[in-house]
Amino acid sequence: MNENVGTYDVVVAGGGPAGVVFGYLMARAGMKVLLLEAYRDFNRQFRGDTLNPLTMGLLDEMGLMEEVLALPHNKVDTVKAVGAKDIEAFNLTYSRMPSKYPYVMILSQPIFLNFMVAKASAFPTFSVQMQARVNDLIEEDGRIRGVRYKTADNVVHEARAQLVIGADGRNSVVREKARLETRTITKEPTYVLWFRLPLEAGDPPEGLVAREEEQTTLFMFRRPDEWQVSLTLKKGVEYKAWKEQGVEQMRAAVAEMVPQFRERMGAIEWKDTSLLPVELKQALRWYRDGLLVIGDAAHIMSPFGGIGINLAIRDAVHAANILVEPLTRRNVQVRDLKKVQDRVMWELRIVQGLQAKQQDSAPRPGEVIGLPPIARLMLRIPIIRDLPIFVLSFGLVPTRIGRRFRKPVPRLVTAAGD
């Protein structure tokens, strides 16, 4: 027997939110699961930290929420945007949401991913391989039968499975190798610069604030131990030309928007920042016989609205609910995989359409962030006022954990978050 070949029920490529939640649920249902993650650990580049009320409700149904609440986190219950001249553009609150958890939980992704993997590892049918980069699919008679992946020692392995899940994010290799076509929804990328600043006494208490100046819009997310700051270049501001104005100009722009950050910005150099071109994409079809892509591999989300993690987890839950029976019968059909896409696709079209519209009509230099007067007026009507936050909190597709996954499981672990 070739020791570099393994056989599983499910192989999951990618240990992001979609992959770890799907892997956990499948292991909980007794499936033999292999989770492959390209990096050595989960301390990858910042990819957001927000869990919305729907996700917390799902974790509650899985019986995990008590332990999740014990992990270091912050709570945010308002999202506030302050335009030029300190005019408040909008101030939306989660506190009226009909949920046991009416807020956004800011929970560092590495901590969350480690936690989920620790919980999954309590099941004997679950295994995880870090530094395992999927680079090809095994295809026989038109059906995907598994993946090939390379480990840190440069050895190529094969993992064969009833089902391959591509949860390998925005630049998905699985999607590419499966030849699943994508369409780009935004007209042009928006450039966002990210960096961290230390948290200090006297900082604004709000968890999430947007501000703006002539050329950029700033979003600041209060994490338990630091600020994560993003500077979005306004439409028409070219990154290269903007950067050539010098680091001092960037520091001054931030200080103008958030005077408390002036001194802290003195220590920020270009090397401390990372640039992300934001483009929205959608895979037209998420599946092939024997394979399904979920999360950002199926629909690349923008960071705006803080929903990408939550939609990735939501995909994982629908996929697990729909596929657990066919997997148990060892008879996963293309129509089962199609059901997963059909369940959520209509909503994604709306959400990504709105994100693209927001991105494509973002302010130009001199224009201010904010809502048109009619929208401001409508937001004074209570039922309409809460609608945007309701959609951000719960989405439009009803989502619950399937009965199969609800039965209590013993509290076996955890050294989570370590």
Ligand X SMILES: Cc1cc2nc3c(=O)[nH]c(=O)nc-3n(C[C@H](O)[C@H](O)[C@H](O)COP(=O)(O)OP(=O)(O)OC[C@H]3O[C@@H](n4cnc5c(N)ncnc54)[C@H](O)[C@@H]3O)c2cc1C
Q: Which residues bind ligand X (CB under 6 A)?
A: 13-19, 36-39, 44, 46-50, 133-134, 167-170, 173, 194, 276, 295-297, 301, 303, 306-310, 312
The nearest distance, CB 115 to ligand X, in angstroms, is: 15
User: Which strand (E) or helix (H) includes residue 2?
Assistant: none
* Closest approach of ligand X to the CB of residue 167, in Å: 5
Q: Considering the complex, state which of residue 93 and residue 273 has its C-beta at the smaller distance from ligand X.
A: 273
Q: What angle do CA 8, 13, 18 make, to 5 degrees?
A: 110
Closer to ligand X at the Cβ: 84 or 309?
A: 309
Rounded to the nearest whole angstrom, what is the least distance from the CB of residue 263 to ligand X in the complex? 25
Q: Which CB contacts under 8 angstroms, 24+ apart, belong to 148-155?
A: 149/13, 149/36, 152/40, 155/4
Three-class DSSP category at 282: strand
For residue 1, what are its two tokens? 């027997």
Q: How far is the CB of 185 from ligand X (least distance, A)?
A: 14
What are the two backbone dihedrals, phi and then psi, of residue 192, each rounded to the nearest 5 degrees? Answer: -125, 130
Containing 389, the helix (H) or strand (E) segment is helix 387-394
Q: What radius of gyration, in Å, describes the C-alpha atoms of the chain? A: 22
* CB 315, min distance to ligand X, A: 8
DSSP string spanning 188-242? S-EEEEEEEEE--TT----SEEEEE-SSEEEEEEE-SSEEEEEEEEPTT--HHHH
Q: Cα separation of 217 and 225, whole Å? A: 23
Q: Nearest distance from residue 296's CB to ligand X, in Å?
A: 4
Nearer to ligand X, 44 or 367 (CB): 44
Nearer to ligand X, 84 or 280 (CB): 280
Please report how close the Cβ of residue 97 comes to ligand X at its closest, in angstroms. Answer: 16
Residue 84 or 337: which CB sits closer to ligand X? 337
> How many beta carbons lie within 10 A of that of residue 412, not counting itself?
10
Through-space distance between the first and last CA atoms of the chain, rounded to whole angstroms:
37
Closest CA to 232 of 247, 242, 224: 242
Residue with Cβ nearer ligand X (65 or 312): 312
Q: Which helix (H) or strand (E) holds 118?
A: helix 109-121
- Residue 220, CA distances (Å) to 191, 224, 253, 300 in order: 16, 13, 14, 22
Residue placing its CB nearer to ligand X in the complex, 34 or 257:
34
Q: How far is the CB of 150 from ligand X (least distance, A)?
A: 9
Whichever of 48 and 53 has its CB closer to ligand X, that residue is 48
